[in-house]
Structure 1
Amino acid sequence: MPNASALLVIDMQNALMAIAHRPEETVAAIAGLRARAKAAGVPIVTLQHQDVTELPAGTEGWRIVAGLEPGPGETVVAKNSADSFLDTGLDTTLRELGVTEVVVTGFATEMCVDTTARQALSHRYDLVLVEDGHTTSLRPDGGGPFVPADQSIAHHNEIFRHIRFAGRRTRVLPAAEVDFSV
């Protein structure tokens, strides 16, 4: 049975892209996916983080970056944690749309992207993690407590290539290989 997909675009906001690793490449990959999803009639759901002190709603930093702004009729879900399902209407929205598979993109790889991807599996959705469609924050020279950004992205892609959830299909694909027509 074919999957009914939805494209999830997580936290691609001005303030976050200002601290992101390879933001232009990530935005371009997601923009291409958005165009293909829209052409195929696949729902696009934009997740937008808000925090009263760090990312207040309505501010320039809170806004979705140019090129990924939600279009007319697209769903925007406000969230305030790394889990896009927690205390939001995301699951209800996806169920109402008849979605069985989520195509996950966005910021930040090891926080909101990872948490939302795992929660999607726990909510019984199949998963496509777009290997070049998620990114993380810039890392200070000399390392610090985080691994380098490219390594973190590669690490999470590899985890999702091997993670297993009973009854769920999980794939990691480059944006160019995501096919919304199947």
Structure 2
Amino acid sequence: MPHAPALLVIDMQNALAAISHRTTETVAVIAELRERAKAAGVPVVTIQHQGVELEPGTEGWQIVPELRPSADEVIVHKTSADSFLDTDLDKTLKALGVTAVVVTGFATEICVDTTARQALSHQYDVVLVADGHTTSERPDTGDFAPPERSIAHHNAIFRQIDFPGRRVRVVPAAEMDFTAG
């Protein structure tokens, strides 16, 4: 099957960016990937969460200005950590002929992780952009791993995932080649 990627931009919304770790850097990485994807003719799919504190139409629900989709880009609205659950994401990707998803966005251990794993179950290869996902800012105390450790942990886990018939890679944005198989 030919390599046909799509770039997924998950939950890069104003209210979530406000609590994100390394927001500016992550937004810049994703914005640059969007431009490269578009230049290569690769579809960009923006995924937008709605729920408590993310009510449709509110400022917090809006996609951050640097990543706002253009009129020709697909937006998928979701209500859970799984971007495939009760959405048209799978149908949209199949209609576009996509065989691999390039995963970016917020939050590393919730929506990014869940969507990437579900993509495997939906028969897509997965590329997790190592520096293209982030999580919430939080203190180094408590039960949650600090943001840098959580991001590194998930990158390491995805490097180890063995999923029959699927290819899983973790790639820094600078090394992302939208044309490579």
TM-score (norm 2): 0.98
CA distance in 1, matches of 2:129, 2:2: 19
Q: Distance in 2 between matches of 1:172 and 1:115?
A: 15
Structure 2 counterpart SS, 1:166: coil
| One-letter code aligned to 2:71 | P
> Helix, strand or coil: the match of 1:67?
helix
- For residue 143 of structure 1, report the CA deviation from its aligned partner: 1.2
Query: Could you tell which deviates more after superposition, 105-114 or 142-151?
Result: 142-151
The correspondence of residues 154-169 of structure 1 with structure 2, limited to 5 A, is 154-169=152-167
Map of 1:14 onto structure 2: 14
Unaligned runs of 5+ in 2: none
The equivalent residue for 1:175 is: 173
> What does 1:17-28 correspond to in 2, within 5 Å?
17-28=17-28
Aligned equivalents of 1:19, 1:60: Cα separation in 2: 15
How many Å separate the matches in 1 of 2:8 and 2:156? 20
> Separation in 2 of the partners of 1:18 and 1:5?
29
Any conservation in 1 of the 2:53–2:60 contact (CA below 8 Å)? no
Contact 2:2–2:99 (CA<8 Å) still a contact in 1?
no
Number of aligned positions between the proteins = 180
**How much does 1:181 deviate?**
2.2
Q: CA RMSD in A?
A: 0.8
Q: Which residue of 2 aligns with 1:153?
A: 151
Structure 1 gaps of 5+ residues are none
CA apart distance, 1:145: 1.3
Shift of 1:98: 0.3
Corresponding residue of 1:56: 55
Amino acid at match of 1:39: A
Q: Post-superposition shift, 1:2?
A: 3.8
Structure-1 residue corresponding to 2:125? 126
Determine the C-alpha separation between the residues in 2 that align with 1:61 and 1:161: 33
Amino-acid identity (%): 71
Letter in 1 for 2:32: G
